[in-house]
Amino acid sequence: MDKLQANTTHIATALCIEGKKLWRWYRDVLSGFLEQSSQDELHQYDFQTKVGNGTRLVQVPILKQENIGPNMAIDEKKIGEEMHTVLTNRDSGKIALLASTLKSGELAGLAVHFDLKGFDVKTITRDLSNSYDWFCRQAFPNAEHIADKFHIIKAVLDAHQDVRIRHRQDLLRERRLEHEAHKQAEKLRKQQCAMEEKPYVPRKFKEKETKFANGETALEMLARSRYLLFKFPGEWTATQKERAEIMFEKFPQIRTAYHLACSFRTWYRKENIAKDEKDINTRLTAWYREVEQADIDEMSNVKSLIERHQPFITNYFHNGHTNAIAENINGKIKRFININQGTRDRDFFYFRLKNFFASTSK
């Protein structure tokens, strides 16, 4: 049970035992959770922090110096109603730090427990959070920071999807204004009929929509194009290809934003790992110029984000490190929550989490 993501309900069913009874046996007797040494170890790094006029308990169920290695990953995870920082060894997959805080100052205070091990860290993958930037500089002074590829690609994809959404909202705004104009006209016509003592017959609002060659209206086309914009052109189905061609002709800005996104994703491919750094930066600078010439706000915003963090982003091409292990751990923790009957018994949940994700014993 300690080393498996096992659901006690399934085990209880197999053993013909009541699920809740087996759960209590495991928690209170078999696991060693109630032993004083386990309780002391679980809470030994907890501390109080000021919040307004009061205090808040920051729980630190996992802090394992031995799980610090040359390649680390840091990410956030929501457990229950609180956000937690999860620091993971990318090589072993073991959690070195789990704390119910995202604040750099509080995390830096915990980093002193790493002692000299922090100097051994060579790479740290993270998102672009300023808090994690400051904490990682304090805790791992020799580490090369690598921006998480997933977050960068997501930012670019979100930007060009925002262009599509903006055009769809513009069409919906036009329809709303037409409908309001129709209602105002009907109101005046009703008053006119009353003055002339004529019967008033309401006129139904008729939406003026043109259907394109594929049988879709502009609004339908924009709504149904979300997923095709995530793909490269060679991955489109015949229907998606037809829809894309019509949409790009009708909305050239979407075409431009899409090609800019595809160009950046091609630059960011793993095939470019270990290539000449000067060539990598030259190609990115060329992409910047294309974005400037396109003059699309959404793409200019994501370009600014990439420019500000360019050194951390291009560090990816040194060895191809990503934050995939952190995302994987987050997924496993989510599954752990599901099979652990939630997180209402928070201490026992932390206890099991520590045994499974931080223990170095076989």
Q: Tens digits of per-residue pLDDT, 167-179? A: 999 999 999 999 9
3-state secondary structure of 5: coil
pLDDT of residue 338: 74
Q: What is the pLDDT of residue 8?
A: 65
**Residue range(s) in the chain whose domain bears CATH number 3.30.420.10:** 32-148+322-357
Using 70 as the pLDDT threshold, list the residues of the chain that sit under it: 1-14, 19, 339-342, 360-362
Radius of gyration of the chain measured on its C-alpha atoms:
28
What does the pLDDT read at residue 302?
A: 97
What's the pTM? Answer: 0.83
Class in CATH terms, 32-148+322-357: alpha beta
pLDDT of residue 258: 97
pLDDT on residue 51: 82
4-40 confidence digits (pLDDT tens): 566 666 666 667 777 677 777 777 777 787 888 888 8
Q: How far apart are CA 202 and CA 193, in angstroms?
A: 11
What is the predicted pLDDT for the residue at 362?
A: 44
pLDDT value at position 352?
A: 82
The residue with tokens 């096992």 is: 6
Quick check: 98 and 114 in contact, CB under 8 A?
A: no
Please provide the average confidence, as pLDDT, over all residues in the chain. 89
How many angstroms separate the CA atoms of 136 and 108, rounded?
8
